[in-house]
Amino acid sequence: MRIAFLDSGIGGITVLNEALKQLPDENYLYFADTLHVPYGTKSMEEVNACVKQSVDRIMNEQVKALVIACNTATSSAISELRNSYSIPIIGMEPAVKPAVEMNRTTGKRVLVFATELTLKQSKYTNLVSRVDEQCIVDSMPLPELVEHCEALNFDRNNIQDFFTTKLATFDLENYGTIVLGCTHFPFYTDILKEMLPEHIQVVDGNAGTVNRLSQLLQSTDHIHTNSSSRVEYMCSSNDPEYIKKMKRAMEILRT
């Protein structure tokens, strides 16, 4: 039995990469809904339909747990998915709470990068309302960064120019943490750290998500040990070239 990861494209590979570090003896299935990438620019209803279609297909693949490795899909579809399937289903949440805690006594602000739909969803706005007592959280949609990632555009100069333009109106001295609220965005963590002031920390929700996955597997006695990990890649378009892209993206993360 395998652990499945679902995203619209290659972004969730950053979460899978974290799982390979924390749970190296598990077998994995990574499924990209390439027929409908990206999710972040669609309506909630469209995302729900896309996710349901993909999960129905994944459930035919002998999986013991499912990670919705996409903040947008989680905020739109997680409740319905948990009501529809009996296996553990783990979602993503932007790391706003730990970021706020990190800056509670520093006087610095928090800036959240995410997709437009994630930032509009009540799941995100309720999260911010619940943890941001000092009103230090700002948000910015970066749909173009998803496009850069899907094109495997990791050219440092090009991406740094992109960030410089997007951050031009922000006084970065006022910020202590940037939250990467889309699973595509951790591909650019190193580039961001190179260009940001040293005092700014960059965080994402990947480790927390995999921690939760590990806890659920242990509590149900479904943890796998004494094995070598295997990863299978699938996509809704059955495109062999995209399969190659996913494998290349994983290589980029692990080098």
- CA distances (Å), 225 to each of 53, 96, 130, 208, in order? 31, 33, 38, 21
Distance separating alpha carbons of residues 92 and 85, to the nearest angstrom: 18
Longest Cα–Cα distance in the chain: 52
CA angle 24, 27, 29 (to 5 degrees): 125
Structure tokens at 108: 């610095």
Distance separating alpha carbons of residues 165 and 157, to the nearest angstrom: 12
- CA distances (Å), 30 to each of 8, 34, 110, 130, in order? 11, 12, 31, 32
The residue annotated as part of the active site, out of 70, 135, 149, 235, is 70
Annotated catalytic, 182? yes
Distance separating alpha carbons of residues 16 and 213, to the nearest angstrom: 11
The residue annotated as part of the active site, out of 50, 135, 149, 182, is 182
Annotated catalytic, 70? yes
Report, as residue numbers or ranges, the catalytic residues.
70, 182
